[in-house]
Amino acid sequence: MSADVKADNQPYDDINITPMLDLAYVLLVTFIILTTASVQGVRVNSPETHTISNLARPQTRAVTITSDGAMFLDAYPVTLEQLAATLAQYKAGNPNLPVVIKGDAAAPYERIVDVLAALKKLDITQIGLVTKRVP
């Protein structure tokens, strides 16, 4: 029995790095999935501008209005009522919620005004308009 006790008290000669590699691979896959998910969206033909602004912020919500007047919140189709309800939930979690409006150049102006009115009613003041930069 004393021989068994001696074997258990021997120091380790090597370190098992397999669990550490498993964790690294999980983190890498998570990073890849989150990065590709954040670049998806609805394509619109944005109006052109000569000014430059940086609107990229964490937790920024994008409202997209297509040329036919369809409305999307972060690439999901919504009605004006659904948009207001969802943004109200987001605002409850983040009082300084930034919102950008990506309107197609041929989008009905009335739809953009409706979105701006809904944002004003929710007291969302950090609003940006997405445009294309003209060289």
Distance from C-alpha of 9 to C-alpha of 75, rounded to nearest angstrom: 60
With a CB cutoff of 8 Å and minimum separation 6, the contacts of 116 are 101, 127
Residue with tokens 């950090």: 126
Question: What pLDDT, on a 0 to 100 scale, did the predictor assign at position 18?
Answer: 84
Divide the 135 residues of the chain into consecutive groups of 10 and give the mean pLDDT of each group: 58 79 89 66 66 58 90 90 91 88 87 91 88 73
pTM: 0.57
Q: Can you list the domains of the chain with their CATH numbers?
A: 2-38 (no CATH), 48-133 (3.30.420.270)
**Percent of the chain's residues with pLDDT above 90:** 21
What tens digit of pLDDT does each residue of 43-78 get? 777 666 665 555 444 678 889 998 898 999 988 899
Which whole-number Å values give the CA distances from 116 to 9, 22, 120, 122, in the listed order?
A: 71, 47, 6, 10
Cβ neighbours of residue 131 closer than 8 Å, sequence gap 6 or more: 46, 47, 48, 49
